[in-house]
């Protein structure tokens, strides 16, 4: 398995380029591109704001590989995985933390280091790295239990992991992530927008994780059922453009309809069909941004016979109509 030490990118990639896209007193933006035939290629796109750095990281390889963080440093970071099957090992944890597509977590460590096995061969994620004094100020403004725990660990310089397993995005996190990736604003306004969305993601993430920690009652689900729910979710994320039905899903995964609907809501904080719709609309947004298909063609591609119905749902979800989608200089999709 190929190994890449993130502290020494230049030792692995003969073709690497750094571009400064913007620099002002408050904001900066850089793009780092790298490629090595037979190993991997990718991009690191970063926007720096006062107190935070938003990074979109994409790495594509032919085979599974290992990323190594070999230089320990104090760090606090939110992670939102868009695509990938990742197994992360940290020295302060006995068990690995696994991430799948559309999962998230937050952690702080006074000596952040670890290794990450990318089983899928590809990895695509958004991260928000927090300036520690800035984060500490944020934490003083809220009495959310998760925020209090993070504040306590931050002040004591003790390791903190918001959840001992990665958690699936809920609908609101999904919508904010997509608005970041497909920002419609230009110029200085774009950076103000991205800064506000970074804060919104932080709040939504901590609220989501806190709600899971305070859910009443013990976990009533057997390991077998939990595994089935995650298998259904993974299948939906691959087959969401097909005419899926509850009946077909229950038959394929050995679940009854009641358990499927209840379990999906319990584990993923959404319904089966809301998740399917979310994936289809996300695909529509990606296709529209590519500007290779008409609105009618995109609507038909994701399963709409009526363009008007598609446009209505699109505007309700993203806040603007499909006809207003245009190329933007926002954090780009690197898939």
Helix (H) or strand (E) holding 194: helix 188-213
Q: How far apart are CA 125 and CA 118, in angstroms?
A: 12
From CA 275, how far away is CA 268, in angstroms rounded?
9
Task: Please tell me what DSSP assigns to residue 296.
Answer: H
Residue 218, pLDDT score:
46
Q: Are 126 and 180 in contact (CB under 8 A)?
A: yes
Beta pairing class for 28-36 and 15-23:
antiparallel
Task: Report the chain's terminal Cα–Cα distance, integer Å.
Answer: 22
Residue 120's DSSP bridge partners are none
**What is the rounded CA–CA span in Å between residue 83 and residue 19?**
25
CA 304 vs. chain centroid, Å, equals 27
Q: Per residue of the chain (335 residues), what is the pLDDT tens digit?
A: 788 888 787 788 889 899 999 999 999 999 999 998 888 899 999 999 999 999 999 988 878 888 888 788 899 999 999 888 788 888 777 778 888 788 899 999 888 888 888 877 788 899 999 999 999 888 876 555 567 788 888 889 999 888 877 788 888 898 899 889 888 888 899 999 999 999 999 999 888 877 766 554 445 678 888 889 889 999 999 999 999 999 999 999 988 888 898 888 888 878 899 889 989 988 998 898 888 899 999 999 999 989 999 998 888 887 778 887 754 434 444 33
331: nearest Cα among 63, 44, 75, 18: 44
Report the C-alpha gap between 293 and 193 in whole angstroms. Answer: 28
Measuring CA to CA, how many Å separate 270 from each of 80, 227, 235? 17, 17, 16
Nearest alpha carbon to residue 9 among 64, 48, 67, 53: 67
pLDDT of residue 280: 92
Could you tell me if 77 and 129 are in contact, meaning their C-beta atoms sit under 8 angstroms apart?
yes
For residues 22 and 29, what is the distance between their CA atoms, to the nearest angstrom?
Answer: 5
pTM above 0.85, yes or no: no
Beta partners for 73?
Answer: 112
Strand partners, 123: 59
Q: For residues 211 and 77, what is the distance between their CA atoms, to the nearest angstrom?
A: 20
Q: How many residues does the chain have?
A: 335
CB 202 within 8 A of CB 220: no
CA-to-CA distance for 157 and 130, rounded, in angstroms?
A: 15
Domains and CATH numbers, the chain: 2-213 (2.60.120.10), 223-324 (1.10.10.60)
Work out the number of other CB atoms within 10 angstroms of the CB of residue 227.
12
Give Dmax (Cα) for the chain: 58
Rounded CA-CA distance 3/61 in Å is: 11
DSSP 192: H
The C-alpha torsion from 89 through 92 and 98 to 99, rounded to 10°, is -100
The three-state secondary structure class of 180 is helix
DSSP helix, strand, coil percent of the chain (3-state; round to 5): 40, 30, 30
The CA–CA distances, whole Å, from 17 to 31, 34, 35, 128, 331 equal 8, 6, 9, 22, 17
pLDDT of residue 327: 46
């Amino acid at each position: 398995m190929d190994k890449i030490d993130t502290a020494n990118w230049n030792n692995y990639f003969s073709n690497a380029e750094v571009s400064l896209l913007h620099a002002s007193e408050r904001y900066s933006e850089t793009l780092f591109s790298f490629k090595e035939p037979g190993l991997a290629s990718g991009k690191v796109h970063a926007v720096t704001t006062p107190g935070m750095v938003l990074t979109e990281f994409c790495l594509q390889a032919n085979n599974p590989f290992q990323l190594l963080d070999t230089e320990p440093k104090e760090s606090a970071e939110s992670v939102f995985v868009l695509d990938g099957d990742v197994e992360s090992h940290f020295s302060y944890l006995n068990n690995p933390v696994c991430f799948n597509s559309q999962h998230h977590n937050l952690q702080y460590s006074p000596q952040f280091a670890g290794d990450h096995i990318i089983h899928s061969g590809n990895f695509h994620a958004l991260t928000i790295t927090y300036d520690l004094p800035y984060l500490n100020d944020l934490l003083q403004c809220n009495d959310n239990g998760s925020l209090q725990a993070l504040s306590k660990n931050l002040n004591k310089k003790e390791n903190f992991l918001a959840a001992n397993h990665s958690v699936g995005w809920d609908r609101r996190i999904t919508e904010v992530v997509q608005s970041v990736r497909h920002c419609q604003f230009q110029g200085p306004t774009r950076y103000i927008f991205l800064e506000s969305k970074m804060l919104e993601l932080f709040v939504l993430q901590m609220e989501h994780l806190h709600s899971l920690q305070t859910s009443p009652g013990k976990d009533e689900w057997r390991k077998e059922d939990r595994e089935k729910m995650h298998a259904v979710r993974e299948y939906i994320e691959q087959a969401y453009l097909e005419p899926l039905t509850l009946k077909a899903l229950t038959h394929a995964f050995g679940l009854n309809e009641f358990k499927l609907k209840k379990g999906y809501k319990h584990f993923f904080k959404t319904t089966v069909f809301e998740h399917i719709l979310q994936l289809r609309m996300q695909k529509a947004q990606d296709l529209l941004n590519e500007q290779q298909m008409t609105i009618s063609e995109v609507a038909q591609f994701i399963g709409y016979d009526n363009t008007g119905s598609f446009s209505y749902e699109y505007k309700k979800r993203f806040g603007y109509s499909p006809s207003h989608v245009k190329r933007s200089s926002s954090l780009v999709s690197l898939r």
